[in-house]
Amino acid sequence: MTSAAPVQHDAEGKQFYIDAEGGRAYLAYMDLGKQTMDIYRTFVPDALRGQGLAARLAAEALKYAGEQGYTVIPSCSYVERYMQEHPS
């Protein structure tokens, strides 16, 4: 089941991802230095849309950023909306 697939973090590749039957959903970011993280892309394959995967990726990335003391720049429009709807 896709909802049970864990969110993984590839720190070297600078992305959070969920591998599921139907493809890989991911959230990509850049470490801009000075404790700043730019989340610039969220992608969910058509076959996996509507299952809340983008929200899970955003939540995990923002949790990580908070734990690491990062300021987040939400260049990705999805993450920008997610942050407005889920203020920390």
Number of domains forming the structure of the chain: 1
Q: What is the CATH number of the domain that holds 19?
A: 3.40.630.30
pTM: 0.93
pLDDT of res. 87: 86
Q: Are 87 and 46 in contact (CB under 8 A)?
A: no
Tens digit of each residue's pLDDT (9 = 90 or more) over 38-47: 999 999 999 9
Predicted local confidence at residue 1, as pLDDT:
46
Domain that holds residue 38: 2-85
- More confident: 22 or 62: 62
Tokens of 41: 């892309």
* CA dihedral of residues 37, 80, 87, 3 (deg, nearest 10): -90
The C-alpha atoms of residue 22 and residue 2 are separated, in whole angstroms, by 9
Residue pLDDT, tens place only, 45-73: 999 999 999 999 999 999 999 999 999 99
Contact 25, 53 (CB under 8 A): yes
**Does pLDDT of 3 surpass 90?**
no
